[in-house]
Amino acid sequence: MNREEELSQLGAGKTEYKYEYSPELLEVFENAHQENDYWVTLNADEFTSLCPITNQPDFGTLIINYIPDVKMVESKSLKLYLFSFINNGEFHEDVVNKIGKDLVALMQPKYLEIVGLFYPRGNISIHPRYFYSNSNEKYKKIHEHRFLNANINPQRVG
């Protein structure tokens, strides 16, 4: 099966948007450079979900950093998946953890982190982070270092 056959969302003609949380939208493709360690950074600058209490929209940026292993997330499927949170009522911390767990289950990356930069409501912005590393000692060290240093300079992300 080639990449075009395994990726149903990419180039599928008219795009269908889901308005409820839909992890089944996520698709992967094979990493062509599995012998290399490299970072992939995906920014979702217009992420929207709902406050579970007030039902008002929450806006923010999601930054997804990962070191792929065998599988990589296809970006259009990720866009559609993230859009599916638009009517999903969850706290910011829950959203970031849910997305992290879904991406780990999907790709089994060597390392993954997600930063949620949610815009202020009531003069408070919330920036939850999710970290994951596989069982390899090298990636556990990256996880530990980035986790322990995540808030040394909270304005700098990456």
Alpha carbon distance 54, 109 (integer Å) = 35
Catalytic residue among 37, 45, 51, 102: 51
Tokens of 23: 């992890």
CB-CB contact of 110 with 67 (8 Å): yes
Q: What count of Cα atoms within 13 Å lies in the side-chain half-sphere of residue 46?
A: 3
Say whether 51 is catalytic: yes
Helix then strand then coil, % of the chain, to nearest 5: 30, 30, 40
CB-CB contact of 64 with 109 (8 Å): no
Say whether 58 is catalytic: yes
Active site members: 51, 58
